[in-house]
Amino acid sequence: MDEVFKALADPSRRALLDSLNVRNGQTLRELCAGLDMARQSVSKHLAVLEEAGLVTTVRRGREKLHYLNAAPVHEIAHRWISRYDQARVEALADLKLALEDAPMDAPTFVYTTYIRTTPQKLWQALTEPAFTRRYWATEFTTDWAAGSPMTWDNHGVPISDPEQVVLEAEPYSRLSYTWHAITPELAKRFGWDDEMLDRLAGEPRSKVTFTIEESGQVVKLTVVHDGFKPGSVLAEMVAHGWPNVVASLKSLLETGEPLPDDS
């Protein structure tokens, strides 16, 4: 955690995080315009934040978009913060909430973490029911070929829909598929009322993409969930859900056990 605390210690870097908290997914030019800092200084601070894992980037054409990444602070909360009195770490708790509750004005959710595993094992964990049911309570029935249909079993609720398909499948490097349909059965499972069901079911179908990159003795996993409309309810839900799912996946691969289910 040394890099995380070092990165957060500088007020200029905290200002950059504040700017991304207000509007996620900014270019370097946009960040410079909103802060009284030279472009070179902003670039150096962003490099420190990226090295600490507090900021992650995604390329869209020629542009490089910067996103808050809650993974490091999320891991502090799960693995370290519980050793100390809550009052003494109130600032960290507030920061965790700020990072995870960032407004979803940008149409993309991005989350990056590093896992002590191999690309092959991570691919298994993303695709095989023996893994997915343990950290996600979800299973997929598909042959994982691009264009193939997918049947979800989400917390015991089977979901079939012709628009649930595999978009990309490059073993050990990249996986992408459309998100599941929102059904009355799923609403009943999670206790959503009719108004919530109608709002979720009326949103356009989103998609999730996993990028796997080997980095020394660890593997970098980047999750990009996009395709949301402005003000999307689902975008807010996945922004809260993905950090927990990915943290539990990381725990399963590194320790053999997922994180405890808080539901």
Provide the percentage of residues in the chain whose pLDDT is more than 90: 59
pLDDT interval class at 245 (50, 70, 90):
very high
Task: Output the CA angle 200-205-209, nearest 5 degrees.
Answer: 120
pLDDT interval class at 104 (50, 70, 90):
very low
pLDDT score of 211: 96
Q: What are phi and psi of 179, to 5 degrees?
A: -75, 160
pLDDT score of 109: 86
Read off the pLDDT of residues 70-99 as tens digits, 9 standing for 90 and up.
777 766 666 655 555 444 445 545 555 555
Higher pLDDT pick, 4 / 205: 205
What are the residue ranges of helices labelled H in 202-262? 233-255
Q: Supply 100's token pair.
A: 């995870």
pLDDT score of 68: 87
